[in-house]
Amino acid sequence: MSERTLAGTLGLDNVDQPVLLKGWVQKRRDLGGLIFIDLRDKSGLVQVVFNPDHSQAALETAEAVRTEYVLEIKGTVVERAADTVNPVMETGKIEVMATELTVLNKAKTPPFLIQEETDVAEDLRLKYRYIDLRRNTLQETFKMRHKTTQAIRDFLNDDGFLEMETPILTKSTPEGARDYLVPSRVHEGEFYALPQSPQLFKQLIMMSGFEKYYQIARCFRDEDLRADRQPEFTQVDIETSFMTSDEIMDMTENMMKHVVKEVKDIDIALPLPRMPYDEAMARFGSDKPDTRFGMELIHVSDVLANSSFKVFKGALDEGGKVCLLNVKGQASNYSRKEIDKLTEFVKVYGAKGLAWLKIEDDEVKGPIAKFLTDEEKDGLVKKAEAGNGDLLLFGADKTDIVYDSLGALRLKLGKELDLIDESKFNFLWITDWPLLEYDEDFERYFAAHHPFTMPVEADMSKLDTEPENVHANAYDLVLNGYELGGGSLRIHRKETQDKMFKVLGFSDEAAEDQFGFLLEALQYGTPPHGGIALGLDRLVMLLAGRSNLRDTILFPKTASASDLLTDAPNTVSDEQLNELSIHINHKE
Amino acid sequence: MSERTLAGTLGLDNVDQPVLLKGWVQKRRDLGGLIFIDLRDKSGLVQVVFNPDHSQAALETAEAVRTEYVLEIKGTVVERAADTVNPVMETGKIEVMATELTVLNKAKTPPFLIQEETDVAEDLRLKYRYIDLRRNTLQETFKMRHKTTQAIRDFLNDDGFLEMETPILTKSTPEGARDYLVPSRVHEGEFYALPQSPQLFKQLIMMSGFEKYYQIARCFRDEDLRADRQPEFTQVDIETSFMTSDEIMDMTENMMKHVVKEVKDIDIALPLPRMPYDEAMARFGSDKPDTRFGMELIHVSDVLANSSFKVFKGALDEGGKVCLLNVKGQASNYSRKEIDKLTEFVKVYGAKGLAWLKIEDDEVKGPIAKFLTDEEKDGLVKKAEAGNGDLLLFGADKTDIVYDSLGALRLKLGKELDLIDESKFNFLWITDWPLLEYDEDFERYFAAHHPFTMPVEADMSKLDTEPENVHANAYDLVLNGYELGGGSLRIHRKETQDKMFKVLGFSDEAAEDQFGFLLEALQYGTPPHGGIALGLDRLVMLLAGRSNLRDTILFPKTASASDLLTDAPNTVSDEQLNELSIHINHKE
C-alpha cells in the first residue's frame, strides 16, 4: 500500500481494503480507551479509529495528536455497526481501523475554529487566510471558480479564439480610473502603469490580424474600495474582428449558457432578453435591473400634472418626474417610524424626502392625502393598480434622483420583503447606451464606457452638434442586478477617433501624447472590431451564491487595499528607493 | 450569403459556391484590364479576381485599393485554368470572382513589407508590432503558444489540479532578484512589489489544504535584460501536497510528453533521463547541458599530474583541473588565427588562455607539445580517443572556470560545426543540487534555488556544520541546453526554516520582518509539499524552433525594458506623484 487514498471517496465498496490516508485532523475524540479522529483532505472527511487491539503504537502516537495536525495513516476500511453509522457524514457508513500513524507535521491550536458558520471577525480570518480557506464552503467556491474559468476557456477554444497575454507593465493613460504606477529604474523619472483593462492591447491584437482573442486578465484600479471592489480583479476579456454587436452578444450568451450549465447544471433560455438603457432606467431606476422581482417604478407625472402639492408641483415645474413604488400588501407592516427609516435611506441618493400613501378601507390615507384631489387619488390608484393594504412610496425630483432613489429603494424592499427568488439566474442585456455623459464639475463630456466606443452609425452626424444625444454601439450584461460586464464595437477609423477625442476635450497634443500609437495604428489597416469584458470575480460570486467578493478571491485585500496575511504594502529599503530615484514626500 | 467564409479554407470543393470574404490586401496586381488581389485573413490567403464582366463597380472600387486595406468581398469560387494554378498557395487551385467590394478601412503604406524573411531592424518592427505580427511565422507562433497552454491546462485539469490566481500586488521580499515596486496611495511611504514568482503564495495554498494547484502566472524581475530575459515573463506554476520529488518529476514529464505530442506530434520517451548536478558539470561544463551532441569534457588532470608545463602545473597545484574538448576532425579547419578567436571567447568566462594540440601525421603537434613528455602525449591521445585530424582544446584553471569556459566553448563549437540535430527534443532532469552557494563578496551563503527549498533528509545534520555539502531536494528540467524550469520539495517544518534563515545570515528580526507570516503559517498544520515552475515563454520558443524570446511574447519589451509601441514607461503628471507622496530625486 504505497498509493494514497482520498478520505472522502471511501464507502462500503472499500470494506476490508487497506488504505493510506494523508490529511488534517478535523476533530479528535477519546472514548472508552479508543481514539477517534475525523481526518480531512481535499476530498472530504473519514473517521479513523485507534484501537489497542489493532495497534498499541498507533494509539499511543494518536494521544499526542491535536486539531490540524497533519497525519499519515495506514489502516483498513471496516463497516460501522448500524448504531454508529453517521448519516450526515458522506463516508459515515464506514470507518478506518488504524494500524500505523505518522505525524507529518504538528499544529498549534488555530486562532479560530474551522467550521462553516462563523462569526469570527473578517480581519482575523484574512490574517490567517490559510486557515479560513480550509473551510468547506471556501474550498467549494474555489473549485467552482476553477470550473467556471475552465468552462469559459473550453467554450472559447472550441469557438476558435486564441488565448493571448497582454503586458502588465504598460503606459499610464489617465483617462479613466486612477492608475497604479511602477517607477522605472532604467528610465529615471518615468513610470509604467498597471493596466485598468487590456483595452488598447486587445484592439492592437485585432490590428495584428488575430481576429479572435481572449484572456482571463488581471486588471488594476487604484480607487477607494467598496465591498464589491478590489484593487486587482480578473476579467474575461474578449475581442473579435468583423463581427456585429448582435453576433458578439449571441456568442457571449451562448458562452454564459455553457458556463451556467457546466457549473450549476441549470439551463438558461436563449436568446437573453434585451432592454434599452432608457427603458431600464424608467422601469427599474437602474442600468442593471434585478428582474427577479417586479415592483417596477410607476410613472404618475401625468396624473399629477396639475397637482397643487408643492413637492410634486415643484418637481414637475423644474422638468423632473413623479414616480411611485407600489409595495403590495405592506401598508400595515410599515409604521410611520419604519417609513422614516426608508426616508433616511432615500436621502443618501439625493431625495429630499419620501412622500407616501396607504390604501386602507377603500380609502387613500396618509399625511399628503389632503393635498390631492379625488380625481388625482383615483388616477394614482388606477395607475398603480393599488388595492387595500398597499403602500405607495413616491419619488418627486429631478429624473436622475427619482430613478436613483426609487431604484435603490426597490432593491432594498425586494430584499427586506423576501421578494427575490434566489434560485433564478436572470441575465439581461442593456443596450442603446448614451455615448457620452456631461460632467458639470469638469464642464466637459466624459465617455460613458470608454473613449474607444463606436457611436451608433445613425447618430454619427450628431457627434459635432448634439453629442449628448449620440448613442453608443455598446451593450452591458446584467445578472441578478449586478453588472457582469460590458462591451461595444470600437472605433476603427482614425477620423472618428480624432473627433471623439475632440468631443472629450483633448487637445491635438494631448491626444497625440497619450494615444498617438493608437491613432497611428488606426491608419494601417484596422479591421472593424469589438468585444466584451466580464468580471470573473463577480460571476463566480453569483454562481456560488455568495455576497462578498472577497470570498471569491484567494488572497483578497481589505477596504484599505492591505493584505493582512503578508502585510503588504510595506516599507522598503532606502537602497531600493535610491535605485529608482524616488523619494517619499511625507504630507504634513 | 451573410455568413463569413475564411479565405484559407477554400478549395475545389467550394467551386461555384458564393462566398463572403473579409480580410486584408496582401498583394494587388493589375493585368490585362483585370485586378488580382491576394486577400489574407487569419486562416490564410486566397486570390480574388476583379473582372469587368462580373462587376464593373467592384473593379472600379478595386482600383483604389492598396496593400493592407481591409476589404469585404462577395463573389463566387471558380476553378483556375490549369496554367494559372499556383502550387505554392494552399488555395492555389481556385480563385474568387468578385461581384461586390466594400472597403472596410483604408491603410497607409506600411513602414515595412509583411513578408517572412525580413531584415528590417527589430526596433522598427517593435514600434509597429501590430504590423509585424501579421507575418505568418508570428501568427503561427502565437497559435502554438495558445495550443501549448491549452495542452498544459488539459493535462493538469484532468489530473485534479485547480487553477488559482495569486496576487500581483504583493509584499517586497528583497531576497532574490530586484523587485518592481508599486507605491501605495493609501499607505503613505509604503510599497507593493510585483511578484518574482508566486512561491510563497503557492506554499500558502498548500497550507490552505488545496493539495494540487497550478497557475499560468505572470512574474516580474527588474534585472538588466539579456536576449533571453524579459521584465515580465510567464511561468507554469505548480504545487502539490503529499507528493515525493519522484512523483512530482513523473507528473511533470508526463505533462511535457502530452504537450510535445499535442503541439508537435512528437513522442517523447519516458522516463526522462536524470543526471546529478556534479555529473552534468563534469561532463558538459554546464548545469543545463545540451545533450543533442557529444564533445563532452575529457578530464586529464591525472594524465598531467606531474606535468612541468606551467599552465597545467599551476592549475593543478592550486587545486584546479585540466580538461579538454576533442574537436573531431577539425584540426585543419582551425588555423592559429581561428584558435585565437576561440581564445578571446573563453576569456569572457575567466579563462586566461586556451592551450591546444592537433593530431596530424600520427603526431601530437602545437605550441605546447614541446612541454609534454611522450608518456603524457600518449596518455592524452588515449584518454581523448584522439586520432589524426583531431583538435584538442584545453581548459586549465580553477574547476569553475574550466567548466564554464569549456562548457560555453562546447556549445559554440557545436553550433559552428553544425553538430546539433535541431529536430531533437532532449529533455533532461538535473538532480542532487547543492542547497547553498557561498558568495565571496557578501561573505555569506545564498540559497542556490530559494530559501524555502528542502535539504535532502540525509544531509539535514550537516546544515550547522558543513552547509556547503548539503544537497537540496531539488530538480531542474532542461530542454536542448535551456533551463525550462525547476522545482523542489519545500521546507514544511518551522525549525528547519528557522535554521535555513540562520545559515543564510538572517537575524531573527529580519526573518520575522520579511517572512514572519510564513514562519507563523508553518506552525498551523503545514503539509509536506513541493512543486515546480516552468518558463512558458522559453518552452514556446523551443517548441516553435525560435531563438529569440521576444518572438514568443505578444508585446515584448526591449533590452532597456521599453515598450516601443506604446512608449512605456513614460512620465506622469505631478498630480499623480503627489497623490502617491513621491518625488523624483534626479541623480547628478
Locus of grid cell 488575430: A210
Looking at beta carbons, which residues of chain B come within 8 Å of A583?
582-585
Q: Does A246 touch chain B (CB under 8 A)?
A: no
Q: What is the DSSP letter of B369?
A: G
Q: How confident is the model at residue B588 (pLDDT cuts 50, 70, 90)?
A: low
Interface with chain B: mutation pick from A173, A206, A222, highest number of B CBs within 10 Å = A222
Q: Quote ipTM for the complex.
A: 0.95
- B567 closest CB neighbour out of A106, A171, A561: A171
User: Is the confidence at residue B226, as pLDDT, over 80?
Assistant: no
In whole angstroms, what is the distance from residue A389 CA to residue A332 CA? 7
* B170/A571 Cβ within 8 A: no
What is chain B's length?
A: 588
Short-list A265, A250, A325, A263, CA closest to A295: A325
* B524/A130 Cβ within 8 A: yes
> Could you please report the per-residue DSSP string of B496-515?
HHHHHHHHTT--HHHHHHHH
Angle, alpha carbons A216-A219-A221 (nearest 5°): 160
Looking at beta carbons, which residues of chain A come within 8 Å of B106?
523, 525
Q: What is the pLDDT of residues B391-434, one digit of tens each?
A: 999 999 999 999 999 999 999 999 999 999 999 999 999 999 99
CA distance B474 to chain A (A): 20
Contact by Cβ (8 Å): B45, B64 = no
CA distance B571 to chain A (A): 5
Q: Does B40 touch chain A (CB under 8 A)?
A: yes
Which pLDDT belongs to residue A1? 54
SS3 of B113-168:
CCCCCCCCCHHHHHHCHHHHCCCHHHHHHHHHHHHHHHHHHHHHHHCCCEECCCCC
Contact by Cβ (8 Å): A388, A330 = no
Residues B479-504, mean pLDDT to the nearest whole number = 96
Q: Which of residues 549 through 578 in chain B touch A, CB cutoff 8 A?
A: 553-555, 557, 560-563, 565-573, 576, 578
Q: What is the pLDDT of residues B519-555, one digit of tens each?
A: 999 999 999 999 999 999 999 999 999 988 999 999 9
Give chain B's domains with CATH numbers: 12-105 (2.40.50.140), 293-420 (3.30.1360.30)
Contacts 24+ apart (CB under 8 A), A420-424: A420/A290, A420/A292, A420/A293, A421/A292, A421/A293, A422/A545, A424/A292, A424/A480
Q: How confident is the model at residue B59 (pLDDT cuts 50, 70, 90)?
A: very high
In whole angstroms, what is the distance from residue A306 CA to residue A317 CA? 10
Q: Does B112 touch chain A (CB under 8 A)?
A: no
In whole angstroms, what is the distance from residue B277 CA to residue B390 CA? 29
In whole angstroms, what is the distance from residue B235 CA to residue B558 CA? 20
Q: Does A209 touch chain B (CB under 8 A)?
A: yes
- Give CA B169 to chain center in angstroms: 25
3-state secondary structure of B103: strand
Looking at beta carbons, which residues of chain B come within 8 Å of A163?
146, 149-150
Residue B536 among known ligand-binding residues:
yes
User: Is the confidence at residue B581, as pLDDT, over 80?
Assistant: yes
Contacts 24+ apart (CB under 8 A), A333-336: A334/A391
SS3 of A82-108:
HHHCCCCCCCCCEEEEEEEEEEEECEC
Q: Does A147 touch chain B (CB under 8 A)?
A: no
- A566 closest CB neighbour out of B170, B493, B567: B170
Instruction: Read off the C-alpha cell for A527.
Output: 479591421
Q: What is the DSSP letter of B467?
A: G
Short-list A301, A266, A268, A260, CA closest to A282: A301
pTM for the whole structure: 0.95
Query: Which residue numbers in chain A have pLDDT < 50?
Result: none
Mean pLDDT of chain B: 95
Print burial letters for A12-48: b (CB count within 10 Å at least 16), e (below 16).
eebeeeebebbbbbbebeeeeeebbbbbbbbbbbbbb
Q: Does A97 touch chain B (CB under 8 A)?
A: no
- A189 closest CB neighbour out of B134, B571, B579: B571
- Amino acid present at A145: R
Residue A56 among known ligand-binding residues:
no
User: Residue A219's closest chain B neighbor by CA?
Assistant: B168
| Percent of chain B scoring above 90 in pLDDT | 92
Please name the residues in contact with A224: beta carbons below 8 A apart, sequence gap of 6 or more: none
Q: Which helix (H) or strand (E) element contains residue A41? A: strand A34-41
Q: Which of residues 432 through 471 in chain A touch B, CB cutoff 8 A?
A: none
- A133 closest CB neighbour out of B134, B165, B208: B208
- A192 closest CB neighbour out of B24, B212, B568: B568
Q: Which of residues 168 through 197 in chain A touch B, CB cutoff 8 A?
A: 168-172, 174, 178-194
β-strand pairing of B212-220 with B482-489: unpaired
Q: Does A153 touch chain B (CB under 8 A)?
A: yes
User: Residue B231's closest chain A neighbor by CA?
Assistant: A169
In whole angstroms, what is the distance from residue B173 CA to residue B513 CA? 10
In whole angstroms, what is the distance from residue B249 CA to residue B236 CA? 14
Which pLDDT belongs to residue B167? 98
What is the maximum alpha-carbon separation in chain A? 93
Q: How many CA atoms lie within 13 A of B507 on its CB side?
A: 3
- B571 closest CB neighbour out of A105, A190, A231: A190
